[in-house]
Amino acid sequence: MSESRAEPAAPGASFEVPVAFADPQYREAVVDLLGVIAYGEISAFERLVEDARLAPTLEDKVAIASMATAEFAHVGRLRVRLEELGADPFAAMAPFREAIDRFHEHTAPADWFEGLVKAFVGDGLADDFYREIAAYLDADTRDLVVASLEDSGHAAFVVDRVRSAISADPRLGGRLALWGRRLMGEALIQAQRVAADRDALSALLAGGVDRPGLDLAAIGRMFTRITERHAARMAELGLAS
For binding to a second copy (CB under 8 A), which residues are involved?
A: 39, 42, 45-46, 49-50, 52-53, 57-59, 61-62, 65-66, 69, 72-73, 75, 90, 93-94, 97
Nearest residue (CB) to a second copy, 73 versus 139: 73
How far is it, in rounded angstroms, from Cα 178 to Cα 168?
18
Nearest residue (CB) to a second copy, 23 versus 46: 46
Q: Which residues contact 64 (CB under 8 A, 6 or more apart)?
A: 48, 49, 51, 52, 55, 115, 116, 119, 154
Least Å distance, CB 35 to a second copy, is 11
Nearest residue (CB) to a second copy, 41 versus 186: 41
- How far from the centroid of its chain's Cα atoms is residue 217's Cα? 22
Least Å distance, CB 81 to a second copy, is 15
Are the C-beta atoms of 37 and 92 separated by less than 8 Å? no
Nearest residue (CB) to a second copy, 88 versus 215: 88
Least Å distance, CB 96 to a second copy, is 11
Least Å distance, CB 3 to a second copy, is 40
